[in-house]
Amino acid sequence: MTDSNTDSLVFQPPAVPRIPVTGQTTKFPVRRIFCVGRNYAEHAKEMGADPERDPPFFFTKPADAIVVNGADIPYPSATKNLHHEVELVIAIAQGGSDIPTHSALDHVYGYAVGNDLTRRDLQAEAKKSGRPWDTAKGFDQSAPISSISPVSLCGHINMGKIYLEVNGEVRQLGDISDMIWSVAEIISALSSLFALQPGDLIFSGTPAGVGPLEPGDRVHAVVAGLPPLAHTIKTNAAMHSLVD
Ligand code: MN
């Protein structure tokens, strides 16, 4: 027992957010959530950006923004334009700094399907005024995610369909091979900015077709080779009334 375990605390800290592992009863404890800002040329174009191979840029969400597969998600406060962004999520098991691309995949525990929920109206305002993206990207319950499939089960994901349906209709469609920055390149670039740690997640960017979600919408998100992500947006009348 270390001293830190016997210190008395002002209050009991919350449990570490955790994600089910495909085919196992053990769970993956989440440390941090990193996200790649722009990683498919067609999506960069639809957002009005030049899809050149500029270095990847990153933003974050709090670890407790995680929502496990199948859970209902309230329509968030303070927005009238909630958007879906289906993404391949990389789960890190072995940390490191300045990781070279040739060994970057050794740091991966597995992969999942995530939805980088976005208050698009707040993001547009932040972009216009040069302000941070936290309120647009890092809000409560903004990171629904499927179970994590270990590499031993699914291999490394470098090609295959990625798509998202709303109420059974395909809204986003792309291929993992269209990513501007590969999984290994993302890990290498991110580890030059942060010492990666076991439990870190990386949302790797979204293909074209992002659009609005409304209360009651059913989301079904797929990356070929992984179990799908499903969730529903429910109404939260009390919070929603704050913006009216
Ligand atoms: Mn995204």
What is the block-wise mean pLDDT of the chain (244 residues), using blocks of 10 residues? 70 96 97 95 84 86 97 96 98 98 98 98 97 98 98 97 98 96 97 98 97 97 98 72 48
pTM reported for the whole predicted model: 0.93
Torsion on CA atoms 125, 131, 134, 137, rounded to nearest 10: 40
Q: How far is the CA of 161 from the centre of ligand 1 (A)?
A: 17
Pair type for strands 211-212 and 82-84: antiparallel
Q: How far is the CA of 236 from the centre of ligand 1 (A)?
A: 24
Q: How far is the CA of 37 from the centre of ligand 1 (A)?
A: 6
Q: 14-234 maps to which CATH number?
A: 3.90.850.10
Q: How far is the CA of 207 from the centre of ligand 1 (A)?
A: 9
Q: How far is the CA of 36 from the centre of ligand 1 (A)?
A: 6
Q: How far is the CA of 132 from the centre of ligand 1 (A)?
A: 15
Q: How far is the CA of 106 from the centre of ligand 1 (A)?
A: 24
From CA 57, how far away is CA 53, in angstroms rounded? 11
Q: How far is the CA of 116 from the centre of ligand 1 (A)?
A: 5
Q: How far is the CA of 41 from the centre of ligand 1 (A)?
A: 13
Tell me the C-alpha to C-alpha distance, in Å, between residue 102 and each of 38, 41, 105, 123: 23, 24, 8, 35
Residues in the chain: 244
Q: How far is the CA of 210 from the centre of ligand 1 (A)?
A: 9
Which residues have beta carbons under 5 A from ligand 1 (an ion)?
Answer: 85, 116, 206
From CA 145, how far away is CA 229, in angstroms rounded? 6
- Three-state SS at 88: strand
Check if the beta carbon of residue 20 is closer than 8 Å to that of residue 69: yes
Q: How far is the CA of 230 from the centre of ligand 1 (A)?
A: 17
Task: Dig out the tokens for 144 from the structure.
Answer: 């629904």
Q: How far is the CA of 120 from the centre of ligand 1 (A)?
A: 11
Q: How far is the CA of 6 from the centre of ligand 1 (A)?
A: 40
**Hey, where are the domains in the chain?**
14-234
Q: What is the pLDDT of residue 238?
A: 47
